[in-house]
Amino acid sequence: MDTNFSPEDLAFRDQVRTFFQDEFTAELAARIGTPTSHRVAIVEWQKNLAKKGWIAPNWPVEHGGTGWSITQDYLFERERAAAGVPDVVPFGLKMVGQVIIAFGSDTQKQQFLPRIYNSDDWWCQGYSEPGAGSDLAALKTRAERHGDDYIVNGAKIWTTYAQYADWIFCLVRTDPTSKKQSGISFLLIDMKTPGITVNKIDSIDENHTLNEVVFDNVRVPVANRIGEENKGWTYAKVLLAHERTAIAEIAKSGHYLADLKAIAKEEISGGKALIEDTLIQQRFANIEIELMALEFTELRVLSSFAEGKGPGPESSLLKIKGTEVQQAIQQLRMDLAGYYSGVVTGELSNEQIGHAFGDRARREFMYGRAATIYGGSNEVQKNITAKAVLGL
Amino acid sequence: MNFNISEEQAMIKDSVARFVTDDYSFDKRNKNVAMEAGFNPANWQTFAELGWLSIPFPEALGGFGGSVVDTMVIMEEFGKGLVAEPYVATVLLFGGLLTHSGEGELQQQLIAKIIDGSLQGSFAYLERQSRFELSDVKSSAVSKGENYLLNGEKTVVFNGSAAEKIIISARTSGGQYDENGISLFIVDADTDGLSRTDYRLMDGQRVANITLNNVAVSKSQLIGELHQGFSLIQSVVAETTRAICAEAVGIMQKLTETTVEYSKAREQFGTAIGKFQALQHRMVDMFIAGEQTRSLLYRAVCSANANSDDSEKDLLALKVMVGRAGTLIGGEAIQLHGGMGMTDELDVGHYVKRLMMINTTFGDADYNQARFSKLLTR
């Protein structure tokens, strides 16, 4: 039992660290952080990562994967978070890409994978529907076969970044007579197809991430179906487990907490730094202790993967605890900002308002509410854990 | 990076687990606890024969030379079986202080006796006023000719009633709260001027209050350097804290499993109560708390093994979570057992009491969280 890294692993870590330091500039970070330049800047960054060959570490080497060990994966992610580098937009690289690799035809692989790898196409995920949230298998969007096409009718909701998307991967019902999980197919749909409307959803975090995507007699070639008809749930399920572990964002939380410590040392109340306040100290301690545990829970999951075992019982708690810690950190950032957590900065600069992080605190806090909801709400995670782990 | 135990450690684990299954049913355990010493001396001989008493001692002192991981493995299994024999008091505390104080003749002799099961020991560190502060020592040791004269009182001394030899912390210089000026003396339990009042803790173990009235000890009975006993205490208490946290993790796992099994069998409203979502989520919370504690245990064990700078912080985090998660898991285990959870006949309450004692031992969650928080402002 140890957590030692080999000299080769440490050399790898240093290489990654240097790359992020050199390539992820403050100027780029600022453009990514600004809503109007977000899409262009993040694509620029992802193309740079693709050039380096590090954009899709987990893909098979033949499709551009790195062939890294689990330890290297872990070190890469840790360095990424420490450098404040955002994760890649997951929908193409981490979601549909994985499904195409696992279940797609050769033609589909040739058509889609290189463009996903190079961030030429922006993908979004069409799973949830107005009537199918945590109970995803209740989805109703209908795809009827007409010759070589499907005609798709229905609506998808909470679709992140649909306004940017070139493509959407969708779960649709192809057999309305069969129940729930069976009768669902997995379709890849070009967002430029006539009949698709994207409606913006105004959200409490003031950013435009959420949308409704409406399908009105949208014609989709059967060739764009993944695998067999009515087997789509099987293909989608693979992603759900992955989504859960990715959502935990443990390294990022560590980075943010260190950030907040620095803030609490600088923010003054009654002539004393906030960090001197014992209640504030307890807030930090509570979060940090959970996070320290979570870091090792993640390592335990990774090492069981490295041994070729599936995720152990500890993996189901990553999503639940990971998102709880994220929200505790977001709440703490709000509280450290005091009045300024409520100030809507808008077009003004932080200098004009007189505060550096209040606006960010509120946006992160509000957006962060979603983390315990998406990817299967935490309550659904507990249902899954009760069944799959405790055998209840 | 790996979180597996070695083959040798797996053998130790299996051997303790087998003992618990075969020879340590809850009934037998209660009979052991009811014995005069608070444990079964025959079991202690079995531990000696199986080599468990030699595990943490270095080879130079005749021990097995086991690592932090070996101790963790044993203690976790002890926890699952709620083993009452005084491994903590005699082997880890008493034996640990001897180990850290040198490799002289005294150490050789006494550790050999611990290993063959013929010596029960104890460490008397607590006083009425000291709460969780290990350096709050009023008992005094005053030099007089060739001897020291010990005066004062030690309280809640683990294994204090069965111990034949006791290591006592006493002040040889400095003020009541000073870390400097504490010295350790090894004393025979039947020495003139030493008297004991025995009683039990809620987890069944027998302890003692020890009164020292001009107890004369020779200078050869000094353990470690004069005035410098505190750093010795700190090292041994840190090691023992890790060990009882491993015990706690074993108990947490056992309590969660027991509760889940009960909820599958117990029917109300025409169905197993484990089918109710309100109860399922509470059991998932127990499971998560136990796994998070296990992660911190591994973290603390890895950093101690690697002699890392983080080992102090990791241990504090672990002890805090053992207290907090223990409170949650213990409370839920009783609640989900309903009326049965209230009965003394069921093992649940006994496991919970041991968890509660572990929380208090060497500082509870609040105390250690305050220490953890001090590291923040550094």
Interface contact flag, A386 B281, Cβ < 8 Å: yes
B1 lies in some domain: no
Q: Is residue A238 pLDDT above 80, yes or no?
A: no
Tell me: pLDDT of B377 over 80: no
- Is residue B214 a part of any domain in this protein? yes
Contact B183, B222 (CB under 8 A): yes
pLDDT band at residue A242 under the 50/70/90 scheme = low
Residue/partner pairs of A13-17 with CB below 8 Å, 24 or more apart: A13/A75, A13/A78, A13/A79, A16/A75, A16/A76, A16/A79, A16/A80, A17/A79, A17/A82, A17/A83
Give mean pLDDT, residues B227-247.
98
| Distance (Å, whole) CA A382 – CA A369 | 18
The pair of three-digit structure tokens given for residue A85, joined into one six-digit string: 């580098």
**The pLDDT value given to residue B217:** 96
Shortest distance between the Cα of A338 and any Cα of chain B, in A, equals 21
pLDDT (0 to 100) of residue A246: 67
Does B206 fall in a domain?
A: yes
Q: What is the pLDDT of residues B321-338, one digit of tens each?
A: 999 999 999 999 999 999
Q: B98 in the Ramachandran plot: left (φ > 0), alpha (ψ -120 to 50) or beta?
A: alpha
Q: Are residues B284 and B362 in the same domain?
A: yes
First CA to last CA distance, chain A: 32
The Cα–Cα gap between A169 and A96 comes to 7
E runs forming strands in chain A: 123-126, 142-146, 149-157, 167-173, 184-190, 196-200, 211-221, 225-226, 268-269, 272-273
Supply the mean pLDDT for chain B. Answer: 97
Chain A to chain B Cβ contacts (< 8 Å): 126
Write down the pLDDT at residue A313. 64
Nearest residue, CB atoms, A1 vs list B302, B320, B377: B302
| Residues of A with Cβ-Cβ distance to B275 under 8 angstroms | 392
pLDDT in tens, A33-65: 888 899 999 999 999 999 999 999 989 999 999
Last residue of a domain, one of B118, B141, B167: B118
pLDDT for the residue numbered A240: 67
Whether residue A2 and residue B369 make contact (CB cut-off 8 A), yes or no, is no
* Mean per-residue pLDDT of chain A: 92
Residues B354, B302 within the same domain:
yes
Chain A contact set for B299 (CB, 8 A): 292-293, 295-296
Chain B residues 316-355 with CB within 8 Å of chain A: 317, 320-321
Q: Which residue of chain B is at minimal alpha-carbon distance from A314?
A: B291
**Does residue B295 belong to any structural domain of this protein?**
yes
Q: Do B295 and A71 touch (CB under 8 A)?
A: no
How far apart are the C-alpha atoms of B80 and B247, rounded to whole Å? 7
CATH of the domain at B42: 1.10.540.10
| Residue B172: inside a domain | yes
Mean pLDDT of B138-161: 97
Of all residues in chain B, the one with the smallest CA distance to A72 is: B1
Residues β-bridged to residue B154: B210
Structural domains of chain B, count: 3
Q: What is the pLDDT of residue A307?
A: 77
Same domain flag for B148 and B217: yes
Tell me, yes or no, whether B2 lies in a domain. Answer: no
Please tell me the predicted confidence (pLDDT) of residue B142. 97
pLDDT tens, residue by residue, B51-95: 999 999 999 999 999 999 999 999 999 999 999 999 999 999 999
Whether B52 and B106 map to the same domain: the answer is: yes
Same domain for B354 and B293: yes
Neighbours of B79 (CB within 10 A): 26
What is the mean pLDDT of the segment spanning B234-246?
98
Contact A3 B306 (CB under 8 A): yes
pLDDT digits (tens, 9 = 90+) for A168-222: 999 999 999 987 889 999 999 999 999 999 999 999 988 899 999 999 999 999 9
Cβ neighbours for B378, distance < 8 A, ≥ 6 positions apart: none
Rounded CA gap, A299 and A251, in Å? 11
Q: Work out whether strand B165-171 and strand B182-188 pair parallel, antiparallel, or are unpaired.
A: antiparallel
Range of lowest pLDDT (A67-71, B39-43, B284-288) = A67-71
Higher pLDDT residue, B140 or A74? B140
Chain B, nearest residue to A258 by Cα: B376
Top-confidence residue, B361 or A182:
B361
Give A241's pLDDT tier (boundaries 50, 70, 90). Answer: low
- Residue A247 in this model has a pLDDT that exceeds 80: no
Q: Give the pLDDT of residue B198.
A: 96
Domain at B147, CATH number: 2.40.110.10
pLDDT digits (tens, 9 = 90+) for A286-320: 999 999 999 999 888 888 877 777 666 667 789 99
Q: What percent of chain A has pLDDT over 90?
A: 74
Min distance B318 CA to chain A CA atoms (Å):
8
The residue-averaged pLDDT of A262-283 equals: 95
- How sure is the predictor about B271, in pLDDT bands with cuts at 50, 70 and 90? very high
Q: Are B296 and A295 inside 8 Å of each other by CB?
A: no
Domain boundary among B195, B211, B229: B229
> Could you say which residues from 66 to 105 on chain B have a Cβ atom under 8 Å away from some Cβ of chain A?
69
For B48, the domain range is 7-118
- Smallest Cα–Cα separation from A83: which of A293, A296, A251? A251
- Give the residue from A227, A230, A213, A214 showing the smallest Cα distance to A145: A230
Q: For chain B, how far is it from start to end, CA to CA, in angstroms?
A: 29
What ipTM was predicted for this assembly?
0.95
Do A227 and A174 form a contact (C-beta atoms < 8 A)? no
Q: Are residues B205 and B316 part of one domain?
A: no
Let me know how long chain A is: 392
Q: Which residues of B touch A294 (CB under 8 A)?
A: 292, 295
Q: Is the same domain home to B175 and B103?
A: no
In the predicted model, is pLDDT for residue A328 greater than 80? yes
What is the residue-wise DSSP string for A83-138?
Answer: TTPPPPPHIIIIIIHHHHHHH--HHHHHHHHHHHHTT-S-EEEE--BTTBSSSGGG
Nearest to A188 by CA among A169, A165, A213: A169
Q: Are residues B211 and B248 in the same domain?
A: no
Higher local confidence (pLDDT), B370 or A303 = B370
Domain stop point among B90, B118, B146: B118
Average pLDDT (B362-371) is: 97
User: Is B187 part of a structural domain of the chain?
Assistant: yes
3-state SS class at A212? strand
What is the pLDDT at residue A244?
59
Nearest-neighbour CA in chain A from B310: distance (Å): 11
Percent of chain B having pLDDT more than 90?
A: 97
Nearest C-alpha neighbor of A246 from the set A368, A82, A100, A90: A90
Instruction: Tell me whether residue B164 is in a domain.
Output: yes
Q: Do B185 and B241 have their domain in common? A: no
Asked if A157 and A199 touch (Cβ cutoff 8 Å), the reply is no
Confidence (pLDDT) at A207: 86
Query: Does residue A354 carry a pLDDT above 80?
Result: yes
Same domain? For B154 and B36 the reply is no
Provide the whole-model pTM: 0.94
Residue A128 in this model has a pLDDT that exceeds 70: yes
Catalytic center residues of A: 243
Q: At what angle do helices A278-306 and B365-376 cross, to 10 degrees?
A: 90
pLDDT value of residue A245: 63
The structural domains of chain A, ordered by start, are 7-88 (1.10.540.10), 123-229 (2.40.110.10), 248-388 (1.20.140.10)
B53 and B137 share a domain? no
Q: A296–B283: do the CB atoms touch at under 8 Å?
A: no
Among residues A84, A141, A95, the alpha carbon closest in space to that of A121 is found at: A95
Between A220 and B1, the more confident residue is A220
> Does B367 lie in the same domain as B239?
yes
